[in-house]
A and B are shown apart, each in its own frame.
Chain A
Amino acid sequence: MRFLPLFPELVRQLFREPATNRFPAKYLPPTVTGFLHDVAAGRARLTPPVPTPPEFRGKIAYARDSCIGCGLCTKICPSHAIELLPTKKIRIWIDQCIFCSQCTSICPKSSLTMSPEFLLADEDRYSEDLIVE
């Protein structure tokens, strides 16, 4: 039994790189939206997020043209995030989607795919970014 077996490990940690990725910036900006405007204007630099692994399940992508409106995806979606429109096309409410990728596996026409996009935070759940159709 020893006192503080942790101590040497802690000293070692002092000289290591931090394990976390400093996203979106090294220090938290006063306002994130303001910071993003600065990034868009080229005044600040965004620390890139950790890359997503292959076959990551992100925001859904919908190939409208190939969809035949069979409605299978609406039947299988666990969170009822897909709506079958009278035009025989679908609308996906991303704010409700749980990214299970079940609709992409059932679609007979492969019209649905999962994109690697994951930065989906929004102030409005009905914003354009969160509705795919």
Chain B
Amino acid sequence: MSDESKKAPYIVPIGPNHPALKEPVMFTFEMEGEVVREVDFAPGQAHRGIEWMGMRRNPVQIVHLTDRICGICGVSHTLAFARAVEQVAGIEVPERADYIRTIIAEFERIQSHLLWAGVAAHELGFDSLLHLTWKVREQSMDVIENLTGNRVNYGIVQVGGVRRDIVLEQHPIIDDCLGTYEGLLGKLLSLFLDDKTITMRCRDCGVLSKKEALELCTVGPTARASGVNVDLRQDYPYAAYGDLDVRAILPEQHMGETHGDVYDRIVVRLLEVGQSCQIIRQCLSEMPAGPVTAEEKLAKLLAICKKAQGEAIGRVEAPRGECFHYVRMDGKDAPHTWKVKASSYSNLMSWIPMLRGEQIADIPIIIASIDPCLSCTDRIAVISHGHRSVLAKEDLHRLSVEKTRRLQR
């Protein structure tokens, strides 16, 4: 107060590439002393052209492309895409396939949340906790590898069902893994939540109020940690979730109150690991017998997809929130349009209210607390326009001039 010049705001740019950032994004912080006064960010620094590639391939091929949109929530993307295509083509997925999809999706949630817990510990400076969580995460990766054939990019979901069945011999491996996690959960909760330093760093840090969470349309654990009761598995059940008992996990169930801070986001994610274990157990015991795919012959499946006409959306509750795929097919091999909205896209805007008023040292953990996945979010913008599908700047300019002319007439 005495010396105004000392408090003059200054700008700290971080990104687009920075050692502290796991993925490319550009932040501009307006600082006042140690405190963030205003923040702006520019995503869209990673162009991958996945949708462009997809619109040149048939649905059976695109499924494997969707697997690679995100290395962590591959099954969510494949599932959302497959569900969209199944709706367009009118393919009925067998019940057993739905259960297997659910099991894999829940294992994915377990490994994703544990991965995030490790990253959060790392951002707080607890590298030993990072290594411990990632060590226990390995077991879920091993189970996934056993069920699907690969640790990442599982390639298990295909339009019409799944590509591999879960046989009886695999049940003990799954049971063993679930037992480990159920036993570990209490320990993990106490390592994270009872630690005085973690509590001091995370309590009331990066707060997102329920109102802001609703206004910014945040999804997934980020929204739930602010007390918003949303979970696609409960609100719009897909796969086998309709038969299962899934309720959104809210921090007040465990803590008795909701702060909407980083701490609550840890609570929600860790409790969801336990919830996923329960869901998998329920799936294993209730799984009906039967085929795992609607159409075993791939050539026939391709023919069905080729005939399909129409549009549909597929929505899936990914570990980070709602993952959304829009597909439009018009009787050709490749879809006419394919648009992906990854969950982080909905969550990024919540950074701004979270970061405002926080200290510079809290930036990494707040940024990490929404579990951002920028590679999923950033893709090339494709406009399908007659025979030309990628519009250069000149083309856009020409279109704009044409439109002005049209309006002038």
Taking Cβ atoms with an 8 Å cutoff, the residues of A that contact B are 1-6, 9-10, 13, 19, 53-57, 72, 75-79, 98-102, 105-106, 114
Q: Which residue of A lies closest to B67 (CB)?
A: A100
B299–A57 CB distance below 8 A: no
A-B contact count (CB 8 A): 82
A100–B155 CB distance below 8 A: yes
Nearest-neighbour CB distance to chain B for A57, whole angstroms, equals: 5
Top 3 nearest A-B pairs (CB, nearest first) are A78-B61, A78-B64, A106-B298
Cβ of B132 < 8 Å from any Cβ of A? yes
Q: Is the interface of A mostly helix, strand, loop or mixed?
A: loop
A5–B61 CB distance below 8 A: no
B299–A5 CB distance below 8 A: no
Q: Which residue of A lies closest to B56 (CB)?
A: A80
Report A-chain residues with C-beta under 8 Å of the C-beta of B132.
6, 9, 13
Cβ of B65 < 8 Å from any Cβ of A? yes
B196–A55 CB distance below 8 A: no
Cα of A123 to Cα of B120 in the assembled complex, Å: 36
Known interface pairs A1-B199, A10-B128; A57-B191 also in contact (CB < 8 Å): no
Which residue of A9, A75, A78, A101 is within 8 Å of B191 (Cβ)? A9
Cα of A78 to Cα of B159 in the assembled complex, Å: 14
Known interface pairs A6-B191, A101-B155; A53-B145 also in contact (CB < 8 Å): yes
A100–B129 CB distance below 8 A: no
- A-facing residues in B164-204 (Cβ within 8 Å): 164, 187, 190-191, 194-197, 199
Binds A, one of B1-9, B23-31, B146-154: B146-154
Nearest-neighbour CB distance to chain A for B327, whole angstroms, equals: 16
Cα of A73 to Cα of B162 in the assembled complex, Å: 19
B interface size (C-beta, 8 A): 36
Report B-chain residues with C-beta under 8 Å of the C-beta of A9.
132, 187, 191
Nearest-neighbour CB distance to chain A for B352, whole angstroms, equals: 31
Which residue of B57, B135, B149 is within 8 Å of A56 (Cβ)? B149
Cα of A3 to Cα of B58 in the assembled complex, Å: 56
A57–B149 CB distance below 8 A: yes
Cα of A60 to Cα of B64 in the assembled complex, Å: 17
Which residue of A2, A10, A76, A99 is within 8 Å of B60 (Cβ)? A76
B155–A57 CB distance below 8 A: yes
Cα of A105 to Cα of B292 in the assembled complex, Å: 14
Cα of A10 to Cα of B131 in the assembled complex, Å: 11
A55–B149 CB distance below 8 A: yes
Known interface pairs A76-B60, A98-B64, A105-B298; A6-B129 also in contact (CB < 8 Å): yes
Additional 7 contacts, C-beta under 8 A, given A1-B195, A13-B128, A77-B61: A2-B195, A3-B195, A5-B194, A6-B129, A6-B191, A99-B153, A100-B64
A78–B57 CB distance below 8 A: yes
Cα of A3 to Cα of B197 in the assembled complex, Å: 7
Report B-chain residues with C-beta under 8 Å of the C-beta of A102.
60-61, 64, 155, 298
Q: Which residue of B lies closest to A3 (CB)?
A: B196
Cα of A77 to Cα of B63 in the assembled complex, Å: 11
Cβ of B122 < 8 Å from any Cβ of A? no
Q: Give per-residue flags for B119-143: 1 if the beta carbon is below 8 A from chain A beta carbons, else 0.
A: 0000000101100100100100010
Report B-chain residues with C-beta under 8 Å of the C-beta of A13.
128, 132
B149–A5 CB distance below 8 A: no
Report B-chain residues with C-beta under 8 Å of the C-beta of A19.
135, 138
Nearest-neighbour CB distance to chain A for B82, whole angstroms, equals: 14
Nearest-neighbour CB distance to chain A for B326, whole angstroms, equals: 20
B60–A5 CB distance below 8 A: no
Which residue of B126, B138, B163, B298 is within 8 Å of A76 (Cβ)? B298
Report A-chain residues with C-beta under 8 Å of the C-beta of B60.
76, 102
Nearest-neighbour CB distance to chain A for B101, whole angstroms, equals: 17
Cα of A103 to Cα of B380 in the assembled complex, Å: 28
Report B-chain residues with C-beta under 8 Å of the C-beta of A56.
145, 149-150
Report B-chain residues with C-beta under 8 Å of the C-beta of A1.
194-196, 199
Report B-chain residues with C-beta under 8 Å of the C-beta of A4.
195
Cα of A75 to Cα of B195 in the assembled complex, Å: 55
Report B-chain residues with C-beta under 8 Å of the C-beta of A106.
298-299
Report A-chain residues with C-beta under 8 Å of the C-beta of B194.
1-2, 5
